Every structure is written in structure tokens, then in C-alpha cells.
């Protein structure tokens, strides 16, 4: 009988944004698939809450603030000295900005682009350091349907997420000779704390319209996590440079 092609036994995967939402559910799912998971995010206490929910052993917490991309290289090099080279990277950390363009302040736009896009560039750069990854390996960047479909008040956030898609395509070609695959998942609206904050900014009618824009309804963090696991595992061994929409049909309209 053939083994499970999604089994991640013997691999070490770094998951950013693992203190909540998609990052947390992804880490939990990967542990159930036998991966050893390194959890990172800004809040150690919330990372510990994720840690106790993981299956198996050998997982660890490594807090880091991606608002400081210039420190990523040294941090990741130090991390892999202890954890060993990484087989996978899931970059789910990010921030949102919901604002009409006329109200956008430069410092706010710079923060979103720094955390969502620049940190991704520097994290992949650090990952490609010889001692930081094994081969073959897989990188999954969490983008958003706001990077492919326009929406009012989402221009800066959408620009940062669209950048990830372009980044993944070029990196996929550049890193293929080194057996590093790079893909994006564009998530629709899933039921997380971020969505709860978004709901507070909308009227009842506006939120209902948002729900109706997803033909299959709003998703869950686990729906997105399943796609991430597919791309990390042998099931995605021939997939690179792709943008996988996990959005309940939002982008199909």
C-alpha cells in the first residue's frame, strides 16, 4: 500500500504568523502530518498557545518582529544553527490597512509594504543561505484575493499582496535549479480575528455583500492550511511559480 503523499515526516517547516489565524491553523495541520514546526510571530505567549496544540514532538517557538526586515538574515541563520536546515517555509505573517487612498499616510503605507512585501523578500533571501535550507525545499507565500481583485479602501494592502505574486513567479524560475519551489496562495475572506476587525468597519449590509461575493461562503483558516500543506508536500513536487486561489469562488466572478 502506497504511503500518504502529504506525509511530512522528517521535515522541518518554519511558519510565520503562527500566533493566530491562517498561520496557527497551518502549523497545527503540518504537525498532524508529522512535520517538525518552528513557530514565529511577535507574541511569545500566543505562540506558546499554538505550541501546546501541536501533535508530535520537536517543535519550537522563535519570536520575531517582521517590522525589522534588516534583521531577518542574522535571525534565521541563528535559528537554523539550533533547529537545523529548513525543508519548508510558510510566510503567513502580515498586516492589513483598510483606508480610502485620500486618507493613507506615507508612514502607514510604508509599514504595510515593509511587513507584507519587503520582509518576504528578505526572508526568502535568508532562507536561500546554504546552511538555512535543505534540498529539495518549498516556500509558500500567503497572498490575498485583494492582490488579484480590486476593492475600495484596499489599495495599499492589495499592492503589497500583488507584489508577493510577482515575487513568487520570478523566484520560482531563479531558484528552480537549486530545487527550491516557490508558490503563492491567494486567500479569500476566512473566519479569523482579522475578519472580525474588518467586520467592525462595515455595516451589516456591507458585510452581507462581502459574504455573497464568495459563492461557497466564507472559508476557514483550515481551508487555506490544506492548500499550503499540498504545496509543501510531495503532492506539490511539480508545482512552482503558481498562484493557488483558495477563496470560495471570489476571484472566479
Active site residue 250: no
Angstrom distance (rounded) from CA 180 to CA 158: 26
Residues in the chain: 253
Q: How far is CA 36 from CA 47, 87, 105, 158, in A?
A: 15, 10, 41, 32
Angstrom distance (rounded) from CA 212 to CA 29: 28
Rg (C-alpha) for the chain, rounded Å, is 17
Among residues 64, 75, 157, 250, the one annotated as catalytic is 157
Pair 30, 229: CB distance under 8 Å: yes
- Read off the C-alpha cell for 56: 508530535
Name 1's Cβ contacts closer than 8 Å, sequence gap at least 6.
Answer: none
- Read off the C-alpha cell for 247: 477563496
Q: How far is CA 70 from CA 56, 66, 113, in A?
A: 33, 9, 14
Within 10 angstroms of residue 83's Cβ, the number of other Cβ atoms is 18
Active site (catalytic) residues: 157
Amino acid at each position: 500500500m502506497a504511503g500518504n503523499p502529504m506525509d511530512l515526516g522528517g521535515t522541518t517547516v518554519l511558519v510565520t504568523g503562527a500566533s493566530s489565524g491562517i498561520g496557527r491553523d497551518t502549523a497545527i495541520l503540518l504537525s498532524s502530518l508529522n512535520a517538525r514546526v518552528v513557530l514565529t510571530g511577535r507574541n511569545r505567549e500566543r505562540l506558546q498557545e499554538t505550541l501546546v496544540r501541536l501533535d508530535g514532538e520537536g517543535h519550537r517557538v522563535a519570536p520575531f518582529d517582521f517590522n525589522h526586515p534588516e534583521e531577518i538574515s542574522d535571525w534565521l541563520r541563528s535559528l537554523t544553527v539550533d533547529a537545523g536546515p529548513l525543508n519548508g517555509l510558510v510566510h503567513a505573517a502580515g498586516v492589513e490597512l483598510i483606508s480610502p487612498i485620500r486618507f493613507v499616510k506615507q508612514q502607514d503605507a510604508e509599514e504595510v509594504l515593509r511587513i507584507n512585501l519587503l520582509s518576504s523578500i528578505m526572508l526568502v533571501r535568508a532562507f536561500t543561505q546554504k546552511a538555512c535550507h535543505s534540498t529539495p525545499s518549498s516556500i509558500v507565500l500567503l497572498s490575498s484575493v485583494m492582490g488579484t481583485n480590486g476593492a475600495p479602501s484596499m489599495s495599499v494592502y492589495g499592492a503589497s499582496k500583488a507584489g508577493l505574486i510577482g515575487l513568487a513567479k520570478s523566484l520560482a524560475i531563479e531558484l528552480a535549479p537549486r530545487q527550491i519551489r516557490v508558490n503563492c496562495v491567494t486567500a479569500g475572506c476566512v473566519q479569523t480575528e482579522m475578519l472580525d476587525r474588518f467586520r467592525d468597519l462595515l455595516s451589516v449590509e456591507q458585510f452581507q455583500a462581502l459574504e455573497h461575493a464568495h459563492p461557497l461562503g466564507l472559508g476557514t483558516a483550515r481551508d487555506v492550511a490544506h492548500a499550503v500543506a499540498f504545496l509543501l508536500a510531495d503532492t506539490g513536487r511539480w508545482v512552482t511559480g503558481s498562484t493557488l486561489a483558495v477563496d470560495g469562488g471570489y476571484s472566479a466572478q
